[in-house]
């Protein structure tokens, strides 16, 4: 089953803890066969990362977790 995580805040905030918990759920049930994606605003620019692989087995997920440390007012994460 697909899952969606969204964070919206008035002030820029890092989603590090929330994304760590979200990714940990992926490792527990192993249902990320369709891949995952992360989108967030970096100032006025939108950053979008996606990969058709399990969250815990792809190299881009480590990069995405690092990028989640950047403060943003909006994050959207999908795993499916």
Q: Is 40 exposed, middle or buried (0-12, 13-18, 19+ CB in 10 A)?
A: buried
HSE value, Cβ hemisphere, 13 Å, CA-based, for 18: 16
CATH class of 3-79: alpha beta
- Model's pTM, two decimal places? 0.73
Rounded Cα gap, residues 53 and 62, in angstroms: 13
The domains of the chain are located at: 3-79
Render pLDDT for 11-62 as a digit per residue (tens, 0 to 9): 998 887 777 777 666 555 555 567 888 899 988 999 998 888 766 666 656 7
């Amino acid at each position: 089953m697909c899952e969606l995580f969204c964070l919206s805040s008035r002030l820029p905030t890092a989603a590090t803890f929330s994304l760590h918990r979200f990714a940990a759920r992926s490792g527990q049930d192993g249902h990320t066969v369709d891949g995952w994606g992360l989108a967030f605003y970096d100032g006025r620019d939108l950053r979008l990362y996606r990969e058709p692989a399990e969250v815990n087995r792809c190299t881009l997920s480590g990069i995405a977790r690092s990028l989640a440390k950047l403060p943003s007012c909006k994050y959207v994460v999908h795993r499916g």
